[in-house]
A and B are shown apart, each in its own frame.
Chain A
């Protein structure tokens, strides 16, 4: 999951059940404290002022977290949400771009705990793993699809058979290519047989294994499946006027009789960030996603609004082509890693949002190591690395970056940080998809991008750093890392896997096929909502889940 740097919004979905508040706040403390975040970031007053006096403008970052002004949920009412980007499709077996709406009406066998990112029951109430290649799920009873079809073992099998059918050619099929067969044991028990042990299976199920009514899969037209596939979620799609709005309605027969509280959700598609913010301020919207960074300060200052954000599972980094000069030399790559001042980059480049990244494992993931910090800005170390690389006076290279002003500004900061060592970085900007194509073909020296990651550390490492990874655009090959990553995805024990991923991360950071820059807070992609919205909790996967949300009567 490569993300278009800092501008591209969201990613894979999953569903999070409600969590205890205490536990959630504990996680937040984790987010702000043990990350080495000083608790201070520059005020959001525009980059020029900050460049001049970053310290003066400092004030604590309110990572919102909406003092969950809880209370007793009131059923009824509706919510109007401003969405910056329209989902390309609602079909979970198609090419998904945006899960914000999908995760309201489709569900998977398992969900993910919002704080630990570990699997929890959803459509399956329990599971058993008799051997590493066999998963037996006990299904929740009394679950109906929106079209009235009962959810049972046959429905599970039908969905996976459909997804894995070569005729259907679902882009999701490759996520489940380790599934050998799905077996119906009885109406409420189903067994997945895997071709090989796969420790990421449950998390993949949570994020990719959505269920659509088997009746609809058989009889509905492709166009209807793209717009309103009947799932088992708390809401169902009532209407989708392309480029205008998506209307979801409460599903009366939802298996949790208490929820959802809202009668309906209307998503208004407003691609212009300024207009979306104005519409929010004018009271036309209760909720906005992807708030422009420049608006965050004003929104935070207004007590009638709540700004919400959470650390995400992704990272931002500079990709280095390890098969082409100058970065086919590990010393040259390390020189870059030594030179980059991550804290400065965050303070000046992203208005203070994010934490410095030293490796691919992200803060919300269980394998994250808060003490891992191999590189700190050091001209001396960089000089030594340059000498070892045989280019003591530095070298020249070209970095490709998408033409978004924010990203170019970040790269210009790095340009300045590299300059004292004699390394000259020139920028080549272009449309993201066009650049990406050349990067995939290996026609580049350096490239700036974001990785959205996923709940499982495998998502942040295997694809990018295993020599057979699909997104190994840096063309990195280290047998030791290969072995560690293959081993780590084949077992299920979290502690054991944590050790393996941390070892792999050390090797990767030492070889520096990427210069890790920043773990984004989910802040530039932050959200804001009005005082009448209650019970909302932002999650690291950047879905906006409204199952537990209610609105105060007006």
Chain B
């Protein structure tokens, strides 16, 4: 197992290197001149030229990359051009929001999705199955921003149950914090919920048709034991993979959700700075998100190996 994890880690090193280059270079693909965008509409051409020089924007791309990578290796992601705030600080300050949001969203998706999928598979063609299919379809089809507005209109404006927007930190007031995250998390998690429901249902149906299930039942095991110990454990393998992959889309989804609900998270940091062309921040956040993605993929592989011993020995 240790060897397996070690090998996976080593394999990701070239990926990380390649990643840093793309993360660095992609900023130069954003149309528009960073100096012009950053200084705004009132800056004179001289001011822009001076600025470009100050930020070393005149140097060749590879030289700039080298300088940047050298600093990144030492844990220095640079300083925001607009606010002088160190990028790493900006990320750390916003990380708890995004993590909480993603965690609640994922919990919602798993707690709702897996039982619903199991229910749908065991009571095939029942009303539960219909609900599961509907949720699966709606989750895939309904854009987050639309669902967000619907939820806000109904839950917050019409019934006044939850605040429309804003963020309360967990340490400040756990209850209010949960309330402030509930709508965004449900919105964010809904697509994942749909995917997980569908996947659980399909996987369960497949497993329930297998011979060992018939054998388990023939052994006289209780149906509950058959379902949970035998069927679900096997059916969960593709669900785990899917969940790992969905983590990435969760983090991507926060860009829209955080903007709509006015949450100060990583997604907001990213998108606002893309518009503002604050390139050190864009690069820093991109790199950070890419590394998280890499880490979740790695974790998925490991978890997969734990659940399915065959993977370890391949």
Q: Do A and B bind each other?
A: yes
Beta-carbon contact of B50 and A169 below 8 Å: yes
Q: Check if A146 is an interface residue, CB within 8 A of chain B.
A: no
User: How far, in whole Å, are A468 and B38 apart by their CA atoms in the complex?
Assistant: 23
Beta-carbon contact of B262 and A270 below 8 Å: yes
Beta-carbon contact of A95 and B39 below 8 Å: yes
Residue B164 contacts which of A226, A227, A279, A440 (CB distance < 8 angstroms)? A279
Residue A275 contacts which of B39, B50, B165 (CB distance < 8 angstroms)? B165
Q: Check if B61 is an interface residue, CB within 8 A of chain A.
A: no
Beta-carbon contact of B31 and A274 below 8 Å: no
Q: Which of A338-346, A426-434, A501-509, A541-549 contacts B (4 or more CB under 8 A)?
A: A426-434
Beta-carbon contact of A284 and B47 below 8 Å: no
A-B contact sample (11 more), CB < 8 A, given A88-B82, A242-B94, A278-B153? A88-B40, A89-B83, A169-B54, A170-B47, A174-B47, A222-B84, A241-B264, A271-B272, A275-B164, A284-B166, A433-B33
Q: Check if A244 is an interface residue, CB within 8 A of chain B.
A: yes
Ranked nearest first, the 5 interchain pairs of A and B with the lowest CB-CB distance are: A434-B31, A433-B32, A174-B44, A243-B264, A244-B264
Beta-carbon contact of A275 and B262 below 8 Å: yes
Binary interface encoding of chain A residues 264-287 relative to chain B, with 1 for a CB under 8 A from any of its CBs, else 0:
000011111011101101101000
Task: List residues of chain A with CB within 8 A of the CB of B165.
Answer: 268, 270, 275-276, 279, 284
Which residue, of B156, B165, B263, has the highest number of chain A Cβ atoms within 10 A?
B165
Beta-carbon contact of A86 and B272 below 8 Å: yes
User: How far, in whole Å, are A245 and B50 apart by their CA atoms in the complex?
Assistant: 32
A64 nearest CB across to chain B (Å): 24
B86 nearest CB across to chain A (Å): 8
User: How far, in whole Å, are A282 and B152 apart by their CA atoms in the complex?
Assistant: 10
A360 nearest CB across to chain B (Å): 16
Residue of B nearest to A166 (CB): B50
Beta-carbon contact of B157 and A281 below 8 Å: yes
Beta-carbon contact of A437 and B272 below 8 Å: no
- Can you list 11 A-B pairs, Cβ within 8 angstroms, ordered by A? A88-B83, A95-B82, A175-B42, A242-B85, A242-B264, A243-B263, A243-B264, A271-B268, A275-B164, A275-B165, A430-B31
Residue of A nearest to B273 (CB): A88
Q: Check if A325 is an interface residue, CB within 8 A of chain B.
A: no
Q: Check if A497 is an interface residue, CB within 8 A of chain B.
A: no
User: How far, in whole Å, are A1 and B40 apart by their CA atoms in the complex?
Assistant: 8
Beta-carbon contact of B31 and A431 below 8 Å: yes
Task: List residues of chain A with CB within 8 A of the CB of B82.
Answer: 88-89, 94-95, 226
Q: Check if A173 is an interface residue, CB within 8 A of chain B.
A: yes
A152 nearest CB across to chain B (Å): 28
Residue B259 contacts which of A166, A174, A272, A432 (CB distance < 8 angstroms)? A272
Residue of B nearest to A222 (CB): B84
Which residue, of B38, B84, B156, has the highest number of chain A Cβ atoms within 10 A?
B84
Q: Check if A96 is an interface residue, CB within 8 A of chain B.
A: yes
Beta-carbon contact of A242 and B93 below 8 Å: yes
Task: List residues of chain A with CB within 8 A of the CB of B40.
Answer: 88, 95-97, 171
Q: Check if A301 is an interface residue, CB within 8 A of chain B.
A: no
User: How far, in whole Å, are A174 and B232 apart by their CA atoms in the complex?
Assistant: 69
User: How far, in whole Å, are A452 and B40 apart by their CA atoms in the complex?
Assistant: 12
User: How far, in whole Å, are A223 and B94 apart by their CA atoms in the complex?
Assistant: 17
Contacts A171-B39, A282-B157, A433-B277; A275 near B152 (Cβ below 8 A): yes
Q: Check if A436 is an interface residue, CB within 8 A of chain B.
A: yes
Beta-carbon contact of B262 and A436 below 8 Å: no
Q: Check if B213 is an interface residue, CB within 8 A of chain A.
A: no
Residue of B nearest to A97 (CB): B40
Contacts A269-B262, A275-B165; A437 near B32 (Cβ below 8 A): yes
B307 nearest CB across to chain A (Å): 38
User: How far, in whole Å, are A274 and B268 apart by their CA atoms in the complex?
Assistant: 17
Task: List residues of chain B with CB within 8 A of the CB of A279.
Answer: 164-166
Task: List residues of chain B with CB within 8 A of the CB of A430.
Answer: 31
Contacts A88-B276, A270-B165, A433-B32; A275 near B261 (Cβ below 8 A): yes
User: How far, in whole Å, are A175 and B43 apart by their CA atoms in the complex?
Assistant: 9
Q: Check if B46 is an interface residue, CB within 8 A of chain A.
A: yes
Task: List residues of chain A with CB within 8 A of the CB of B44.
Answer: 171, 174, 470
Binary interface encoding of chain B residues 26-67 relative to chain A, with 1 for a CB under 8 A from any of its CBs, else 0:
000001110011111111111100110010000000000000
Task: List residues of chain A with CB within 8 A of the CB of B164.
Answer: 275, 278-279, 282, 284
Residue B42 contacts which of A171, A225, A243, A245 (CB distance < 8 angstroms)? A171
Residue of B nearest to A279 (CB): B164
User: How far, in whole Å, are A268 and B163 apart by their CA atoms in the complex?
Assistant: 13
Beta-carbon contact of B36 and A437 below 8 Å: yes
Task: List residues of chain B with CB within 8 A of the CB of A379.
Answer: none
Q: Check if A2 is an interface residue, CB within 8 A of chain B.
A: yes
Binary interface encoding of chain A residues 488-499 relative to chain B, with 1 for a CB under 8 A from any of its CBs, else 0:
000000000000
A87 nearest CB across to chain B (Å): 10
Contacts A226-B83, A282-B164; A12 near B42 (Cβ below 8 A): yes
Q: Check if A132 is an interface residue, CB within 8 A of chain B.
A: no
Beta-carbon contact of A282 and B166 below 8 Å: no
Which residue, of B44, B93, B153, has the highest number of chain A Cβ atoms within 10 A?
B44
Q: Check if B160 is an interface residue, CB within 8 A of chain A.
A: yes
Beta-carbon contact of A226 and B84 below 8 Å: yes
Beta-carbon contact of B46 and A174 below 8 Å: yes
Interface size class of A (residues with CB under 8 A): 35 or more
User: How far, in whole Å, are A437 and B48 apart by their CA atoms in the complex?
Assistant: 12
B230 nearest CB across to chain A (Å): 47
Q: Check if B260 is an interface residue, CB within 8 A of chain A.
A: yes
Task: List residues of chain B with CB within 8 A of the CB of A88.
Answer: 40, 82-83, 276
Beta-carbon contact of A171 and B84 below 8 Å: no
Residue of B nearest to A88 (CB): B82
Beta-carbon contact of B262 and A272 below 8 Å: yes
Q: Check if A3 is an interface residue, CB within 8 A of chain B.
A: yes
User: How far, in whole Å, are A274 and B151 apart by their CA atoms in the complex?
Assistant: 13
Q: List residues 259-304 of chain B with CB under 8 A from any CB of chain A.
A: 259-265, 268-269, 272, 276-277
Contacts A243-B268, A244-B167, A433-B37; A278 near B32 (Cβ below 8 A): no
Task: List residues of chain B with CB within 8 A of the CB of A436.
Answer: 32, 36
Task: List residues of chain A with CB within 8 A of the CB of B31.
Answer: 430-431, 433-434, 437
Residue A223 contacts which of B83, B167, B260 (CB distance < 8 angstroms)? B83
Beta-carbon contact of B166 and A2 below 8 Å: no
Which residue, of A86, A95, A225, A274, has the highest number of chain B Cβ atoms within 10 A?
A95
Beta-carbon contact of B262 and A223 below 8 Å: no
Residue A227 contacts which of B83, B160, B263 (CB distance < 8 angstroms)? B83
A379 nearest CB across to chain B (Å): 36
Task: List residues of chain A with CB within 8 A of the CB of B262.
Answer: 243-244, 268-272, 275
Q: List residues 128-142 of chain B with CB under 8 A from any CB of chain A.
A: none
A544 nearest CB across to chain B (Å): 19
Residue of A nearest to B81 (CB): A95
Q: Check if B207 is an interface residue, CB within 8 A of chain A.
A: no
Q: Check if B242 is an interface residue, CB within 8 A of chain A.
A: no
Beta-carbon contact of A434 and B32 below 8 Å: yes
User: How far, in whole Å, are A169 and B50 apart by their CA atoms in the complex?
Assistant: 7
User: How far, in whole Å, are A455 and B86 apart by their CA atoms in the complex?
Assistant: 37
Task: List residues of chain A with CB within 8 A of the CB of B156.
Answer: 278, 282
Task: List residues of chain A with CB within 8 A of the CB of B41.
Answer: 1-3, 452
Task: List residues of chain A with CB within 8 A of the CB of B50.
Answer: 166, 169
Residue of B nearest to A225 (CB): B84
Task: List residues of chain B with CB within 8 A of the CB of A244.
Answer: 166-167, 262-264
Task: List residues of chain B with CB within 8 A of the CB of A95.
Answer: 38-40, 43, 82
A186 nearest CB across to chain B (Å): 34
B39 nearest CB across to chain A (Å): 4
Q: Check if B149 is an interface residue, CB within 8 A of chain A.
A: yes
User: How far, in whole Å, are A3 and B260 apart by their CA atoms in the complex?
Assistant: 24
Task: List residues of chain B with CB within 8 A of the CB of A243.
Answer: 94, 258, 262-265, 268-269, 272
Q: Check if B95 is an interface residue, CB within 8 A of chain A.
A: no
User: How far, in whole Å, are A222 and B89 apart by their CA atoms in the complex?
Assistant: 14
Beta-carbon contact of B32 and A171 below 8 Å: no
Beta-carbon contact of B149 and A274 below 8 Å: yes
